[in-house]
Structure 1
Amino acid sequence: MYKIMLVDDDYPVIELLSETIKWDELELNLIGTHENGVSAWEQAQEEMPDILITDIGMPKMNGLELITRIREVKPDIRIVILSCHNEFQFAQQAMRLNVQDYLLKDSLNPEDLVQLLRRFKTGLDEVSQAGWEQSRMKYLYSETRELRKEQYIKNFIHQPLLSPQEWKKEASEYGLFADCEFCLPVITYLEDYRRIKYRFLSEQTLNFAVINVINEVLNSLETRVLHVKYNFKTSFLLFTYKPTLKTNIYDEVFLNLEAIQATLLKVLKIRFSFITGHGCATPESLKISLNDMLGCEKQRFYLEPGEITKIQAIAVSGLQQNIFDYYDQASSELREVFLGKNSDKAREVTEKWVSLIQTEMYAPENVKDWMLKLLLDLKLKLHSLQSIKPSYSADSLHKEIVDMDTLSELRLWLSEHLEFVATVNGPGTSKRAEVMEACRYVSLRLNVRISLDEVADHLHLNASYFSRLFKKESGITFIEYVTRLKMERAKELLDQTNYTVGGICELLGYDNQSYFIKTFKTHAGVTPVEYRG
């Protein structure tokens, strides 16, 4: 009998399907029902299903991430998605993951699923073990080729180029420098990596998804392009072309980068920025260009999210004031935010200093050192106040700041950090460490669905006890608190971005747009569209 797994955080759906469908008559073995992707993935590693029926939006690991992981191990698995989502992009992404069907819960008839399962079983009966092995070998070959390509380019960048002609011959395998062609390199940057990696749960899953989507876009372009991963945040696109007077290669590459960028944002909800190098006629010039792009940390630091630009040398004025000259003033303003005397000012203070940094374009390492010193000194000053107990450590702060690649990411992080501290330490808030940690946990995960059980597990507390504790200490229920923070974040996104209401709904982890709009109206008194006005 073929094994089948059912995954959905909507328990009535699990109950309906598990009890209504006569699995034995279909000669199918329902090996497990799960309410989140993590639980399903744990079982799949022990007992891999032949058919997977899964929801998309679930806590801990969503359905698309679960599909990606399982397909890495079992490429020929049959998959059905059950979801409240009816937007095209979700169906489109499901098709890219080779999902066989996509059914909406609102109109689901169990008999339709039964007919689909019968077709699956017939198809599985027709697939021989040899076919499975062939599919598995094809995937392993593709994965090995990506790793070999990555190592090949890294060796080219970082090791001496002893024989350019010999390297050109080897590079022909990847279509580089053939028939007197030139190469225009582009370096790509994954934005907001700190948040994205939590959404995909593993760097491997993220890498797998990005490579698949980029390669799909590249295959549709007229220009020949080689994509090579450098690390989990950075990769290269090597555009091959022949110089002509009729075509401006930079304009053509710009349009192609826009197409890649738009697809990644639409399908995976992730944003990339790009810096283009210079056209290269030889391996020697390509090696120099690639090293130059890896060395342009300062230009990278001041890139806006989604920006596409050319590499440039950033000059520093000899009259530039040292950023540490502003230390005392910034420390005084930030201290007010930490004390909670004027918590609404957190964003204003952040924008003021970020604007100065943007104008003066200080060295990134100096900006990070300045920011780290400010926050650590404030921690020491406030430690003696009983009502102020900053929950961050020097090590955690240092790690978070060092990992940030851009000023825009630092701006968002600092604003959220200050607002969180001001909120937690403001009048009437709890001094209990568990409640403070729960608030921090929520503030860092507003982009996903958050359940009381999940946070209770994180705190190693009984869910009922945590619920009562949170209500007693904060004066509101945990769910009310989560909703309040999400709706305040929705206001910020409506004020500061051009995201659609549907896009904001997804960014905040809501599956149902109608429910999101209703919740927003309850909180703000108007719909999101009316609020944006």
Structure 2
Amino acid sequence: MYKVMLVDDDYPVLEFLSASIPWEHYGLELAGTYENGAVALEQAESSMPDILITDIGMPKMNGLELIGQLKERKPNLRVAILSCHNEFHYAQQALRLNVQDYVLKDTLNPADLEKLLLQFKESLDQEDRVQSHQHQLQHMVDRNKELMKEKFIRKTMQEPILDRHNWLSEASAFHLELEGRACLPILGFIDRYRLAKQRFMSDDILRFAIYNVISEIIGQEASPVVHFAYGTKESFYLFPFQPTLKINPYDKAVERMREIQQAVRKYLKISMSFIIGEVCHQPEEIKASLNGLLSAGIQRFYVEEGSITKQRAYMEGNMDLFSWYDQASTEFREMMIEKKTDQIVPTVKHWIDFLKEHTFPPEKVKDWVLKLLLDLKLKLQSLQYFRSTYAVDILHKEILEIDSLVELEHWLVEHFQSVMTLAGEIWEQSKRSEVVEACHYVSLHLDKRISLEEVADHLFLNSSYFSRLFKKETGETFIEYVTRMKMNRAKELLDQTSHPVGKICEMLGYDNQSYFIKIFKSSVGVTPVEYRGQKTS
């Protein structure tokens, strides 16, 4: 609705017009009635009208002064003067102020004013349509320009620069003036991109929002940085400067990136990080630097959120990440079985710090985490911790989309919290919680000898009753279940550690190695040594 303001020191006139015109019927809102221009101007500061109907002769501030003040603030304000004055000089002043109509109170008819209000509304509607169309056209122009810039930067990175002069000319068309100047390439990327995309509903909306904010900030700079989108996650910034000037280009580039960073955080609530490349003097150097920044996967994975840092080489750790797999798996499994929700954050942080300390390649880290979670799922599913509808494909997709160790840490905390909540719900819904508790007990004591009587005592149940109950609920005897869990654990230790068979035998609470080997072969079909040989061959 368009807002209408009535201003007249004749109160009966205000009351008459307020009551006689069906404002809402015409798609209008009577925003206020005021008895002088000064009060009306004060109110307009907080709620500017679209249509003003005002008298001329009023105390403190007359109608013509009020019109002049409001027109400065809103040039497209629609105005009708409602007055007893019909002198020519008043009409002249009204014309100079671009007043649309001049109505005398002596001949006032509400129907005539309603007709005038409808004309105002139609002209405002038409103006809105024109502005909307202009905005759409401008958006198309900006979008096409952005796509052309992205095409240029991709071509620069992916194809040979055969003609340096043509390349510089094309760069100049995008306001990148490099003739006789050096350039500092910068890679920018959105921190926690997945969450930002979810909040903005789509890549296109997020990209448009980022582009608008960055364009606004860059346009205000005396020495502009030229921005090139590269998909939605990443973007490049080329910072040209005169190499003869006594300036530190890195310091200046950091200032510019900090302005962009603060604006994106303020207006979009999004964190961005930047990696600054080496100074370039030739187009070929820019090409190499851009490709180097884009392939700096390890640095990007381990950089802190909201960082602005120079590009540097990361040395991959020479430690075997998977040699620590069993320890991590055991810690997370025990944390979940024992329902230690207060240990989620510190346990995740401990392993994230470990990964950061040794700077393992991001792909290896993701493989390690994915295997860890899938194995946990299988183990906990056997303990009735998971429902069969648990989405493994979504888990895989989400881990692959994670771009940084910081994001991985937050994701893991949320994942374990949701799994723990689900496990609690399943526990509460279980009709035979004694069986679930028995399974949990076994999982926590695989390193010891476990007897049926011991678990029955733990559950305060008669051993014979517990034996029948367990077989009825699970389809296998308690001893068969214990043996199966121990053999599964034996296979894990054979797969993930270099412990000898005798050591694994002790770790699973068996006193007799020959008996352990016999049980293993009966369960798996081969001896422990043969099983390990199959895995390494």
Could you tell me whether the CA contact under 8 Å between 1:180 and 1:242 is conserved in 2? yes
Amino acid at match of 1:300: R
Q: Secondary structure at the match of 2:205?
A: helix
Q: Secondary structure at the match of 1:426?
A: helix
Any residues of structure 2 matched to 1:435-474 within 5 Å, and which? none
Could you tell me whether the CA contact under 8 Å between 1:207 and 1:232 is conserved in 2? yes
Amino acid at match of 1:233: K
Q: Distance in 1 between matches of 2:252 and 2:145?
A: 28
Question: Is structure 2 residue 369 aligned with structure 1 residue 336?
Answer: no
Structure 2's unaligned 5+ residue stretches are 3-20, 30-49, 51-76, 78-116, 431-537
Q: Distance in 2 between matches of 1:371 and 1:217?
A: 39
Q: Which has the higher contact order (CA 8 A, sep 6+)?
A: 1
The match for 1:25 is 26
Any residues of structure 2 matched to 1:364-383 within 5 Å, and which? 364-383=362-381
Could you tell me whether the CA contact under 8 Å between 1:200 and 1:206 is conserved in 2? yes
Q: Secondary structure at the match of 2:24?
A: coil
Q: Distance in 2 between matches of 1:220 and 1:169?
A: 24
The match for 1:97 is none
Could you tell me whether the CA contact under 8 Å between 1:184 and 1:239 is conserved in 2? yes
For residues 31-67 of structure 1, the C-alpha deviation after alignment (integer angstroms, 9 at most, x for no partner) is xxxxxxxxxxxxxxxxxxxx9xxxxxxxxxxxxxxxx
The match for 1:240 is 240
Amino acid at match of 2:382: S
For residues 329-367 of structure 1, the C-alpha deviation after alignment (integer angstroms, 9 at most, x for no partner) is 100111123324322211111011000001000010110
Question: Please, which moves more after superposition, 408-417 or 176-185?
Answer: 176-185
* Alpha-carbon distance change, 237 to 157 in structure 1, aligned in 2, over 3 angstroms: same
Q: Distance in 2 between matches of 1:391 and 1:198?
A: 23
Q: Distance in 2 between matches of 1:293 and 1:138?
A: 32
Question: Is structure 2 residue 311 aligned with structure 1 residue 311?
Answer: yes
Amino acid at match of 2:233: K
Greater Rg over alpha carbons, structure: 2
The match for 1:326 is 324
Question: Is structure 2 residue 423 aligned with structure 1 residue 425?
Answer: yes
Could you tell me whether the CA contact under 8 Å between 1:424 and 1:430 is conserved in 2? no
TM normalised by structure 1 equals 0.57
For residues 212-254 of structure 1, the C-alpha deviation after alignment (integer angstroms, 9 at most, x for no partner) is 0011111111222111110111001111111135211110111
Q: Distance in 2 between matches of 1:307 and 1:329?
A: 32
Q: How many residues align?
A: 327
Q: Distance in 2 between matches of 1:243 and 1:127?
A: 50
* Alpha-carbon distance change, 187 to 390 in structure 1, aligned in 2, over 3 angstroms: farther
Could you tell me whether the CA contact under 8 Å between 1:277 and 1:289 is conserved in 2? yes
* Alpha-carbon distance change, 163 to 407 in structure 1, aligned in 2, over 3 angstroms: same
Amino acid at match of 1:170: E
Any residues of structure 2 matched to 1:27-46 within 5 Å, and which? none
The alpha carbon displacement at 1:21 in A equals 8.5
Amino acid at match of 1:425: A
Q: Distance in 2 between matches of 1:283 and 1:192?
A: 32
Q: Secondary structure at the match of 1:228?
A: strand
Amino acid at match of 2:227: H
* Alpha-carbon distance change, 383 to 134 in structure 1, aligned in 2, over 3 angstroms: closer
Amino acid at match of 1:389: R
Q: Distance in 2 between matches of 1:383 and 1:402?
A: 23
Question: Is structure 2 residue 214 aligned with structure 1 residue 194?
Answer: no
The alpha carbon displacement at 1:132 in A equals 5.7
Could you tell me whether the CA contact under 8 Å between 1:273 and 1:306 is conserved in 2? yes
* Alpha-carbon distance change, 120 to 243 in structure 1, aligned in 2, over 3 angstroms: farther
Structure 1's unaligned 5+ residue stretches are 3-19, 29-50, 52-77, 79-116, 433-533
For residues 261-309 of structure 1, the C-alpha deviation after alignment (integer angstroms, 9 at most, x for no partner) is 1111011100000000111111100000000001100000001000110
Q: Secondary structure at the match of 1:175?
A: coil
Amino acid at match of 1:145: K
Could you tell me whether the CA contact under 8 Å between 1:423 and 1:429 is conserved in 2? no
For residues 159-198 of structure 1, the C-alpha deviation after alignment (integer angstroms, 9 at most, x for no partner) is 2222222211221112334441122111001011111111
The match for 1:160 is 160
Could you tell me whether the CA contact under 8 Å between 1:339 and 1:426 is conserved in 2? no
Amino acid at match of 2:25: D
Q: Secondary structure at the match of 1:183?
A: strand
